Structure 1
Amino acid sequence: MQTVGNPDNPAVVLVHGLGDEASTIWESSIERLKDDYFVVTFDLPGFGQSSKSNELYSPLNYAKFIHYITQTYVKKPFHLVGHSMGGAIALKYTSMYPSDVESLVLVDAAGILHRSEYNNFLVQNGVNAFFDEQNGLIQGLQTQKVTSFIDKIAEKIDRKMSLDMEVVLSSEDLRATILGGSPYSIAAVALVEENFNGIPQKINARTTIIWGETDTIAPVETGYVLHKLMPNASLKILPHTGHVPMVSHEETFLNLLEAHLVNQDGIVRPTVPLNAPNYSATIRDIDGRVYTGRIGNMSIINSQKIIIKDAVVEELAIINSDVKIINSTIKSTKSVVLSAQNAKVFIVASDISGRIKLQNTKLHLLGITMDTFGKPIEALSTSMVFYSLCQINNKLIHGKEILGLH
């Protein structure tokens, strides 16, 4: 553990993510903050210079470890900053010890989405990316055993099966047999197994969410979800930036961190257009286009990488297309507000008032609030629905289901 600066100054606690570098990833942050803050860093158990053994390295246990450290060395409310796995741990910590946290910074927080959604993301981006962060931040972790293990998880999800990793994590023998007793593997699996459903909404600490737009380790959609759900959060998305902005874009990151610590920008909440002109459109055979504003009726046919963002939509039909809807509202006087056929649809950090009808579609709902009468989602043929941190008719839902099986 390391403390730098005057203990009488405001305290900043920095929590690292996966990687042998551990707390050394914060070197530039410490250098920038040391004159004005009391900075506390440490290697989480299982990483860096700390002990490494076959233990349950879970967000819960890490939060308890940080509580012991801060009660011993800080002894007052502090600014909590977490990166990657450390961001998830910081979120867990704040939910457990809210009076300890003066403010919160989440940097490319990993593992917040439901396990099925996160594994889909890893498969799409290459499962090895999770264990081979950019610029060589994780060395020696890319082993055949770990890669094979993650491949098997994704394979089981695809076959509509589920491996009970809670049993594996709770058993020393199974951790040794299946995960090789590796702190890296145990921590990674415990992270994606953690259920954060309902936690962000309860955190009232002033929060800045910082995210690399091109992150292939933790999807930027997680940032949008956290921004929507956390009542006192602002979101800063860094263009052309990956998973480790404090290394790849050091000055930009440090300026954002300093601005947060002095509350320079206040809290900026997500907004959707209220007075923009209303338009309707049929999108056919289009690739890679963004639509915003107030949309009446929109049909999207045979199109790929279509993004609807910061919009209010009345009715939407998606056929043979790949569509992502971000920070939007779908609301109509009609009972069915969205229909999708032979499609892949992501709805992120958005509100839906009405029903959804699916045919042979994969629907990914991330941080969605949905209110409707009757059955919210109907499938006319087999479709998959993935829920992460969703609230459907006032019920929290976090999981996956297959609809339309006969």
Structure 2
Amino acid sequence: MKIFVLMWVFIVGLHAEEFRGTFITEPIFNASVYLQTVGNPDNPAVVLVHGLGDEASTIWEGSIERLKDDYFVVTFDLPGFGQSSKSNELYSPLNYAKFIHYITQTYVKKPFHLVGHSMGGAIALKYTSMYPSDVESLVLVDAAGILHRSEYNNFLVQNGVNAFFDEQNGLIQGLQTQKVTSFIDKIAEKIDRKMSLDMEVVLSSEDLRATILGGSPYSIAAVALVEENFNGIPQKINTRTTIIWGEADTVAPIETGYVLHKLMPNASLKILPRTGHVPMISNEETFLNLLEAHLLNQEGIVRPTVPPNAPNYSATIRDIDGRVYTGRIGNMSIINSQKIIIKDAVIEELGIINSDVKIINSTIKSTKAVVLSAQNAKVFIVASDISGRIKLQNTKLHLLGITMDTFGKPIEALSTSMVFYSLCQINNKLIHGKEILGLH
């Protein structure tokens, strides 16, 4: 009996040792970093990178438990988070990528599967662009900060206002949707003006980081993340990639997932219904099944789809709210309608008046010079291809991950309009920013 008890204590001790982290000092931030390695180093290696928040690497506990028998799992608290030391440093995707390179060169020493969540997804994308031969495969989970800063501001404000309205239990149902949209736009613009200060200068100065950002690692990392320009990076990554996104994510817009899927030539997109920003916790079993399938390369690459050959249809959409259209569309007019989605479509000609429209994973192409006209509208075009010109009047146009080819001026504004670009390529030129058109 005594021998049995001693053996049991020994086995439990081994298990505890297996999950015990250690503290190391690394040379990029000169920080004390909490590092955890689990499993047999001879097994295929998986490196897990967390996002913003002091939960840090604890979000991966379920993932480590699932993977530890078949993989060598490496995770850590990024400098500035969790149990790692915190100071007034430039916690940027670039510096974090250099930090991970030091960790993997020291403790992994072979190609590995790289998994990044939220800010960690952006860091993983940056890392793969810098050290492509290190990364055997890539998993991006609800990656934050990839789109242009203005787009991200708009998304966060939109979700904040929607949450407020939901809490009112119908008390403000009489408020017109267009007025709400205008209100959201004004808040987003105000935030964007506040951010118009040259944050690159702030980030590069220890004194300014202390004065303006309070020297807070969270604030520094968040600002450095949204200031990072990822334009042109996804297209260059040939690594086998799985993009996992919670459909109900209110932190990182799902449109980012569609954009990355379009731009990354060897990427698949998995959308998890009724799942928020942290699927490894809120939808753990589904997430882990997808992660394991990716690591085993069981499904291959699944690219965006196009609608099957079918007769074109034309339609006039008037006074409609919350409708989805797909397929092959000849001519469509959308008037006085809100929350209209056109998805997985081929469109020849589209006119939008006094409406809110989102176009996803589609092609707009016609023999006519102008393929899309919008007046007093808010239009999002996401992960789509456009062949032809766009004409605007008093419209906000959001272009996310679009490729546009046309003769002459691609976008013409007859009255003042705003255009926001995220990870776009227009007439073979990469564009990432915003501009005001139609000023006279």
Distance 1:279 1:353, change over 3 A: same
Checking the alignment, whether the CA contact within 8 Å between 2:158 and 2:184 is kept in structure 1 is no
Distance 1:142 1:75, change over 3 A: farther
Question: Shift of residue 274 of structure 1?
Answer: 3.8
Distance between the aligned counterparts of 1:145 and 1:315, measured in 2?
Answer: 28
Checking the alignment, whether the CA contact within 8 Å between 2:153 and 2:192 is kept in structure 1 is no
Question: Shift of residue 155 of structure 1?
Answer: 5.0
Question: Shift of residue 329 of structure 1?
Answer: 0.1
Query: Which structure has the greater CA radius of gyration?
Result: 2
Question: Shift of residue 277 of structure 1?
Answer: 2.3
Distance 1:272 1:11, change over 3 A: same
Distance between the aligned counterparts of 2:427 and 2:92, measured in 1?
Answer: 31
Question: Shift of residue 131 of structure 1?
Answer: 20
Checking the alignment, whether the CA contact within 8 Å between 2:138 and 2:240 is kept in structure 1 is yes
2:384 match: 350
Question: Shift of residue 237 of structure 1?
Answer: 0.5
- Give secondary structure in 2 for the equivalent of 1:231: coil
Distance between the aligned counterparts of 1:297 and 1:167, measured in 2?
Answer: 48
Alpha-carbon displacement from aligned partner over 1:194-252 (angstroms, at most 9, x marks no partner): 00000000000000000011111000000000000000000000111110000100000
Gaps of 5+ in 1: none
Checking the alignment, whether the CA contact within 8 Å between 1:153 and 1:163 is kept in structure 2 is no
Alpha-carbon displacement from aligned partner over 1:4-34 (angstroms, at most 9, x marks no partner): 0000000000000011110011000000000
Distance between the aligned counterparts of 1:354 and 1:275, measured in 2?
Answer: 22
Distance 1:366 1:273, change over 3 A: same
Checking the alignment, whether the CA contact within 8 Å between 1:20 and 1:137 is kept in structure 2 is no
Question: Shift of residue 69 of structure 1?
Answer: 0.1
Question: Shift of residue 87 of structure 1?
Answer: 0.1
Distance 1:159 1:177, change over 3 A: closer
Question: Shift of residue 278 of structure 1?
Answer: 1.0
Distance between the aligned counterparts of 2:116 and 2:176, measured in 1?
Answer: 23
Alpha-carbon displacement from aligned partner over 1:377-397 (angstroms, at most 9, x marks no partner): 000000000000000000000
Question: Shift of residue 152 of structure 1?
Answer: 12
Checking the alignment, whether the CA contact within 8 Å between 2:157 and 2:187 is kept in structure 1 is no
Distance between the aligned counterparts of 1:313 and 1:19, measured in 2?
Answer: 42
User: Normalising to structure 1: TM-score of the pair?
Assistant: 0.93
Question: Shift of residue 258 of structure 1?
Answer: 0.2
Higher relative contact order (CA 8 A, sep 6+): 1
Distance 1:378 1:140, change over 3 A: closer
Distance between the aligned counterparts of 2:114 and 2:326, measured in 1?
Answer: 35
Distance 1:35 1:180, change over 3 A: same
Distance 1:225 1:256, change over 3 A: same
Checking the alignment, whether the CA contact within 8 Å between 1:132 and 1:138 is kept in structure 2 is no
Distance 1:393 1:261, change over 3 A: same
Distance between the aligned counterparts of 1:14 and 1:71, measured in 2?
Answer: 15
- Give secondary structure in 1 for the equivalent of 2:339: strand
- Give secondary structure in 2 for the equivalent of 1:110: coil
- Give secondary structure in 1 for the equivalent of 2:201: helix
2:353 match: 319
Question: Shift of residue 163 of structure 1?
Answer: 1.5
Checking the alignment, whether the CA contact within 8 Å between 1:383 and 1:402 is kept in structure 2 is yes
Question: Shift of residue 276 of structure 1?
Answer: 2.2
Distance between the aligned counterparts of 2:176 and 2:352, measured in 1?
Answer: 39
Distance 1:225 1:143, change over 3 A: closer
* Correspondence 1:121 to 2:155: yes
Gaps of 5+ in 2: 1-34
Alpha-carbon displacement from aligned partner over 1:350-401 (angstroms, at most 9, x marks no partner): 0000000000000000000000000000000000000000000000000000
- Give secondary structure in 2 for the equivalent of 1:113: coil
Question: Shift of residue 160 of structure 1?
Answer: 9.4
Distance between the aligned counterparts of 1:134 and 1:74, measured in 2?
Answer: 52
Checking the alignment, whether the CA contact within 8 Å between 1:128 and 1:142 is kept in structure 2 is no
Checking the alignment, whether the CA contact within 8 Å between 1:212 and 1:241 is kept in structure 2 is yes
User: Normalising to structure 2: TM-score of the pair?
Assistant: 0.86
Distance between the aligned counterparts of 1:130 and 1:39, measured in 2?
Answer: 41
Checking the alignment, whether the CA contact within 8 Å between 2:148 and 2:421 is kept in structure 1 is yes
Checking the alignment, whether the CA contact within 8 Å between 2:341 and 2:358 is kept in structure 1 is yes
Distance between the aligned counterparts of 1:133 and 1:169, measured in 2?
Answer: 37
Distance 1:129 1:53, change over 3 A: farther
Which of 56, 67, 74 is the aligned partner of 1:22? 56
- Give secondary structure in 2 for the equivalent of 1:136: coil
Distance between the aligned counterparts of 1:333 and 1:145, measured in 2?
Answer: 36
- Give secondary structure in 1 for the equivalent of 2:78: coil
Between Structure 1 and Structure 2, how many residues are aligned? 406
Which of 289, 294, 299 is the aligned partner of 2:323? 289
- Give secondary structure in 2 for the equivalent of 1:218: coil
Alpha-carbon displacement from aligned partner over 1:300-331 (angstroms, at most 9, x marks no partner): 00000000000000000000000000000000
Distance 1:311 1:144, change over 3 A: closer
Alpha-carbon displacement from aligned partner over 1:276-310 (angstroms, at most 9, x marks no partner): 22100000000000000000000000000000000
Alpha-carbon displacement from aligned partner over 1:102-153 (angstroms, at most 9, x marks no partner): 0000000000001111111112122999999999999999999999999999
Distance 1:246 1:133, change over 3 A: farther
Distance between the aligned counterparts of 2:170 and 2:75, measured in 1?
Answer: 21
Distance between the aligned counterparts of 1:96 and 1:131, measured in 2?
Answer: 43
Alpha-carbon displacement from aligned partner over 1:242-268 (angstroms, at most 9, x marks no partner): 100001000000000000000111000
Distance between the aligned counterparts of 1:149 and 1:318, measured in 2?
Answer: 20
Distance between the aligned counterparts of 1:311 and 1:319, measured in 2?
Answer: 20
Checking the alignment, whether the CA contact within 8 Å between 1:286 and 1:302 is kept in structure 2 is yes
* Correspondence 1:12 to 2:32: no
* Correspondence 1:105 to 2:139: yes
Query: Between the two proteins, what is the percent identity of the paired residues?
Result: 96
Distance 1:301 1:149, change over 3 A: closer
Distance between the aligned counterparts of 1:55 and 1:356, measured in 2?
Answer: 44
2:99 match: 65
Distance 1:151 1:325, change over 3 A: closer
- Give secondary structure in 1 for the equivalent of 2:100: helix
Distance 1:373 1:280, change over 3 A: same
Distance 1:242 1:97, change over 3 A: same
Checking the alignment, whether the CA contact within 8 Å between 1:131 and 1:142 is kept in structure 2 is no
Distance 1:179 1:149, change over 3 A: farther
- Give secondary structure in 2 for the equivalent of 1:270: coil
Question: Shift of residue 162 of structure 1?
Answer: 1.7
Distance between the aligned counterparts of 2:76 and 2:172, measured in 1?
Answer: 17
Distance 1:78 1:59, change over 3 A: same
